[in-house]
Amino acid sequence: MEYRLLGRTGVSVSPLCLGSMMFGEWGNKDESASIRIIHAALDAGINFIDTADIYSYGESEQIVGKALRGRREDVFLATKFFIPMKEAPNYRGGSRRWIMRAVEDSLRRLQTDHLDLYQVHRPSADTDVAETLGALSDLVHQGKVRYIGSSSYSASQIVEAQWVSRDRHLERFVTEQPPYSILVRGIEEDILPTTQRYGMGTLTYSPLSGGWLSGRWRKGANAQPTATVRPSARFDMTSPDNQRKLDIVEQLAQLADEYDLTLIELAIAFVINHPGVTSAIVGPRTIEQLEAYLPAADIKLPAELLDRIDELVKPGVTINPDDNSYGDHDLQPRLRRR
């Protein structure tokens, strides 16, 4: 497996990052099976694991911590905070109060004395970014965190955070984690150019677009969203946008066959072939799914194939606008013209 530099950190990571959202109650409830998947990924050359405190409400971190006993130093370990861990107030967000509590909880569950990358899971309109960056900077100075990053930030939010870090002499976000796939190409318009301009690593999630590019969602198939996917317009098959997605998936499957690739290999290789992408986060629930993802790490897509993909989905375009909206960048009533 060919490793890549993570932005300007000097750290080398694998082009596939093992996402752990499916380990625990939300996905694979067999802890020993999840640990085997993690070990298989490490044995295959993946040295990058991404998790979050919210995944199965801490269970995912616990599983990762158990799996890394004796192998921790070989892994670049990332986790995230922000999403509510309890119904009570102040167990969420980007405040100093919560960050200092959340990091200790994650360190305990992961059975480690430091995190290689600590990420803000979502941006917040209610918290000064300087508050968040200040707390994270203190964690870096304490040695509990090596690097800090953001997730699902808009381009303007990325720029604001970089400027605040510069002007206030705080640690800066060295990574951004946005959604990206053949069907969801919105980040090509401004997110990727922005992260490249600031020398950030880009860790993209959902390269299979929530299962649309895994073969799960095909014409005539009676697939249903997994338990972790809330019913939404993203999976409304009466939607003209989703019908168009089904048509495109059929054409992509034929294109993959022409080049002796699986649809999964084509989809993941497309993501990591972008020069602005460091790693694609893949989240297997079974060992078979991991094995289907691994070959993509070594696939170089020829220019003519990329051109044909561009004909199906134009650069910078997201087929269904609902796929670009994860509830974080929607214009709230107070921000709307009306």
Active centre residues (catalytic) = 55
- Answer yes or no: are the C-beta atoms of 53 and 80 closer than 8 Å: yes
Q: How many angstroms separate the CA atoms of 257 and 254, rounded?
A: 5
Q: From residue 300, give the alpha-carbon distance in Å to each of 271, 296, 334.
A: 11, 8, 46
> Is 186 within 8 Å of 324 (Cβ atoms)?
yes
Which of 138, 133, 168, 135 lies closest to 153, judged by CA?
Answer: 133
Q: Token digits for 70?
A: 């004796």
- In angstroms, the first-to-last Cα distance of the chain is 52
> CA-to-CA distance for 41 and 122, rounded, in angstroms?
27
- How is residue 97 written in tokens? 């109060």
Whole-angstrom CA distances from 327 to 124, 314, 321 are 11, 24, 12
Sign of the CA dihedral 243, 245, 248, 252?
negative
